[in-house]
Amino acid sequence: MSRPILEVAHLNKSYRTKSNTDFAAVKDVSFSLMKGETLGIVGESGSGKTTVAKMIAGMIPVTSGDISLDGERLSGTRTRSKATKRNIQYIFQDPVSSLNPRLQIKDILAEPLKLYFSLTKQEINTRIDGLLNDVGLPNAYRERYPKELSGGQCQRVGIARALAAEPTIIVCDEPTSALDMTIQSQILELLKDLQQKWGISYLFIAHGLEVVYSISNRVMVMKQGEVVEFGATDEIFNRPEHAYTQSLINAIPQIQIPYFN
Ligand SMILES: Nc1ncnc2c1ncn2[C@@H]1O[C@H](COP(=O)(O)OP(=O)(O)O)[C@@H](O)[C@H]1O
Ligand SMILES: [Mg+2]
């Protein structure tokens, strides 16, 4: 975790509203993400988390500000190089709708493999098996369609699709929000294992602090498009400076201890 892989400086995003005024969804956001680090981004719905994430992934244009990958300043969305696109992958909040319902799992995974690498059919097949194995899905799932899988299994496919590109960064945009608690922790464990194995850096977005606690090295708290607090995870939890961070900590559901008599 020695050097920054991603640097974001003074990032802004405005949307033109119907009344023809500008609404600032993201205001002057700056941070860096280290190699192999997980940076948690937390904030209530509408605080600008996805907007930051999509600008970094090149899915929407920035209004102003700079994004650098491995020391190289990135250009706008349409002119990004293939290598840059490959290096910044995205895992979506809704695992089912993020997969093309008309494609079998093997074809969903073949897409990034064909796009980014020149492989033979045989190599693609072997790679698909390897990816399914990496995310804990049986090979037999190759032939299945997304609707035949559970939400958690679809998210595993979403993770495999991101891994297929062999990225240096994965933006995880509330990847467990649509899943129930048990599945949530399984997905978090999987993401941690994959990070250990491949040294990938994560930007991990959640609206609750409890989700980022176990996975993040540092946490950035956003409110109404701005960064209100930023620090090491244990500092944020033990010594929150901003009242909003405190309110997020207070909102963490208390674990119910079973009572036996
Ligand atoms: N395409 C858009 N046009 C107009 N406003 C948008 C658009 N996308 C997002 N917004 C607004 O920007 C703000 C931040 O949204 P978003 O980044 O999705 O928040 P979060 O991911 O933290 O819930 C919200 O007020 C949202 O309504
Ligand atoms: Mg969002």
Beta carbon of 175 within 6 Å of any ligand 1 atom: no
Q: Whose CA is nearest to atom 3 of ligand 1?
A: 15
Average pLDDT score, the chain = 93
* Alpha carbons 73 and 1: distance in angstroms, whole number: 21
Listed in sequence order, the residues at least 6 apart from 148 whose beta carbon sits closer than 8 Å to its beta carbon are none
pLDDT of residue 259: 53
Please tell me the number of Cα atoms within 13 Å of 58 on its side-chain side: 21
Beta carbon of 75 within 6 Å of any ligand 1 atom: no
Report phi then psi at 86, rounded to 5: -60, -40
Give the ligand whose atoms come closest to the C-alpha of residue 93: 2
Mutate to test the pocket of ligand 1, among 17, 23, 172 (most ligand atoms within 8 A of CB): 23
Asked if residue 220 has pLDDT above 90, the reply is: yes
Q: What is the mean pLDDT of residues 15-26?
A: 93
Could you give all domains of the chain from N- to C-terminal order, each with its CATH number? 4-250 (3.40.50.300)
pLDDT of residue 126: 98
Instruction: Indicate the helix (H) or strand (E) that contains 121.
Output: helix 121-134
Q: Whose CA is nearest to atom 18 of ligand 1?
A: 50
- State both tokens at 138: 């049986």
Mutate to test the pocket of ligand 1, among 13, 15, 92, 207 (most ligand atoms within 8 A of CB): 15
Asked if residue 103 has pLDDT above 60, the reply is: yes
Share of the chain above pLDDT 70, in %: 97
From the list 123, 116, 96, 127, the residue with the least C-alpha distance to 168 is 116
Beta carbon of 22 within 6 Å of any ligand 1 atom: no
pLDDT of residue 197: 95
Asked if residue 53 has pLDDT above 80, the reply is: yes
Q: What is the pLDDT of residues 173-213, one digit of tens each?
A: 999 998 998 999 999 999 999 999 999 999 999 988 988 98
